[in-house]
Amino acid sequence: MKKFRQTWSRRHFVTTAFGAGASVALNPISAWASYNLDPRVARIVAKSISVDTHNHVDVPLVSSELPGSKLDLGGEIKKSGLTAICMTFAVDYQQIHNPGEAYDRFTNGLHAMDGVLQSNNMKRSLNLEEIRDAFEKEDPTVIQSVEGCHFLEGKLDRVEEAYNRGLRHLGLLHDSDASVPLGDVYTNPPKYGGLTEFGASVIRECNRLGILVDLAHASNETLNAALKIASRPVVISHTGLDTQLGQNPQLAKMMRPRLISKEQARIVADAGGIIGVWTHLSDTPLEYAQNIKAMVDVMGIDHVCIGTDTKMTPSNRSFPGASHSQDNDQNRPRIGERTNLVWEGQTLGFYYIVVDALLKVNFTEDEIAKICGGNYCRVFDASTNSHRSS
């Protein structure tokens, strides 16, 4: 028997919200009415694959905390309106002291995510065909990602081990240096002259196996060197233009080192890569849409995607090594942290609101489909359809 679809189903939304007028079978009905959404929103959400290219799901990273809290990952993704998220975790949120510790955190994190997916009757999408299949079936899905290669500890064969565990999106760097460094991080003093030889080897191995390389957190020197090495397109999953600083000067100053210049963004586009625009430094959906438009104006419509750097499910600080920027009380998530609660007063799913905002800044339906999923799917497919070779 076909399983029951929640009322946040894309096709259900089309036939109820915009076919039955005010008698909408959505939750909450009053919220939809208060937003006064453009009538094209339903059609765009229903027919377009949408992917958040950088979304954190907090899981325990030490064995004593496994299996972790029960998370309604599928329900939150359905509520968001998204097809998929790049389900991301990092092992260096707390300092790594001992050899093997980063690897243990990595394997524990994957084990915990296995449990989350199993309890939600979900699976990882390993290629574009599986993403498309999930979209057609209206089943939420994830692309497994990790932020930072600390778990490699200088051992290149672990890239293939991660591939065999379902990893298809690999962030080369995060906030701290790995025990065997891969390159300079943009928020730290430069030490390595950009990309290290081990970092170059990891990129080559990802290209061989079929893993999309994510160059978020890379300094300009690291990024430029990586683009010369990579034989497949890359993604910078979460950043923003350094000209789009928002309304909070203190926050802008803190985030400034994490933003990309127009010149660097063009270099990424010229190499065939894409950049995900995060929700940081935007106080409203309209400001977020304007930040996306600014990036498109620099890179072109085929090179921009969405990478919120938010959390689809509640934070849980009780896990040693769990994410920074968390709230102990799961019932009181911080504004800006949760995907479906990014903006003050938000009561609708993320993708619905973003589509409406993108329409307001004059993007076409086809352009929105590219930004919100099509561009990522193209690059993901170009990276993961590799045939292994020795």
Q: Which two tokens stand for residue 217?
A: 């957190």
Domain ranges of the chain: 39-384
Judged on CB neighbours under 10 Å (0-12, 13-18, 19+), 345 is exposed
Q: Which two tokens stand for residue 113?
A: 């995510």
Contact present, 283 and 247 (Cβ < 8 Å): yes
Hey, what amino acid is at 99? P
Preceding amide of 285 cis, omega within 30 = no
Phi, psi of 134 (to 5 degrees): -60, -40
What does the alpha-carbon distance between residue 118 and residue 87 come to, in Å, rounded to a whole number? 14
DSSP string over 290-329: HHHHHHHHHH-GGGEEE---EESS---TTSTT--SS--S-
CATH code, 39-384:
3.20.20.140
Instruction: Give the pLDDT confidence of 139-164 residue by residue, as tens digits.
Output: 999 999 999 999 999 999 999 999 99
Instruction: Give the pLDDT confidence of 293-324 residue by residue, as tens digits.
Output: 999 999 999 999 999 999 999 876 544 444 44
Strands 51-56 and 274-277: unpaired
What does the alpha-carbon distance between residue 279 and residue 308 come to, in Å, rounded to a whole number? 5
Local structure of 95: helix, strand or coil = coil
Percent of the chain with pLDDT over 70: 85
Instruction: Give the pLDDT confidence of 165-212 residue by residue, as tens digits.
Output: 999 999 999 999 999 999 999 999 999 999 999 999 999 999 999 999
Closest to 152 measured CA to CA, from 112, 211, 64, 221: 211
* DSSP assignment letter at 183: B
Instruction: Give the pLDDT confidence of 221-257 residue by residue, as tens digits.
Output: 999 999 999 999 999 999 999 999 999 999 999 999 9
- The pTM (predicted TM-score) of the whole model is 0.90
